[in-house]
Chain A
Amino acid sequence: DTGVSQDPRHKITKRGQNVTFRCDPISEHNRLYWYRQTLGQGPEFLTYFQNEAQLEKSRLLSDRFSAERPKGSFSTLEIQRTEQGDSAMYLCASSLGGYAQYFGPGTRLTVL
């Protein structure tokens, strides 16, 4: 399968724990995006990379959130000291340049 993959698909954690999500983009895509989506809302932009450089971070991304794309391929999104408000679907997408984005299936996070 050459689509965008995300792992895990579901994560249940207790408040205060750290979680890490992984995204594997389409191999030739140089851009990688992270979004967060809550029920009934459109995806909210969190951050994006061009190759390994993180070009922009949303103000939504508090200092508990960190994202990396160390070799310009896969990316990780870590949330430290999770809070109940972090419960959401975390979506990853990739693109070649700034055109059509291809989304992964998402990681659903539930913080108890």
Chain B
Amino acid sequence: SQQGEEDPQALSIQEGENATMNCSYKTSINNLQWYRQNSGRGLVHLILIRSNEREKHSGRLRVTLDTSKKSSSLLITASRAADTASYFCAALKTSYDKVIFGPGTSLSVIP
């Protein structure tokens, strides 16, 4: 397993704007996952993208994966104050790998 590195560490935007967060990893992967954590709560799984996929959508979330650059991005469209949270990526080398989290991106959506 390997740790994903999120970028930026912190992001502040106005409600209604789009938020983009990036994740980089170092070796080949089976899948990459994004999680959200509201302050003081457990993590919530948002989306999983497999290594043979390039883009995936879920509601206002859009995830892309570029295996040649070993990077992924998470786009949240039309952000809401409720999107304020920390976002973590996790890159799994195999489908049976454990998840290791990076430091995350702290997103603040200002009403």
A residues sitting closer than 8 Å to B (CB atoms) are 4, 33, 35, 41-45, 48, 56, 89, 91, 93, 97-106, 108
Contact = CB atoms under 8 A, between A and B. Distances in A.
Interface in B47-104: 48, 86, 88, 92, 94-104
Contacts, number: 58
Contacts of A35: 101
B101 A33 contact: no
A102 B33 CA distance: 12
Nearest to B106: A40
Interface of B: 31, 33, 35, 40-45, 48, 86, 88, 92, 94-104
A98 B101 contact: no
Contacts of A48: 98
18 contacts: A4-B42, A33-B99, A35-B101, A42-B101, A42-B103, A43-B43, A43-B88, A45-B98, A45-B99, A45-B101, A89-B40, A91-B43, A98-B95, A98-B96, A98-B98, A99-B48, A103-B44, A108-B40
Given A33-B98, A42-B102, A98 B42 contact: no
B41 to A, nearest CB: 6
A93 B101 CA distance: 13
A91 B98 contact: no
Q: Which of B42, B96, B98, B99 has the most chain A CB within a 10 Å cutoff?
A: B42
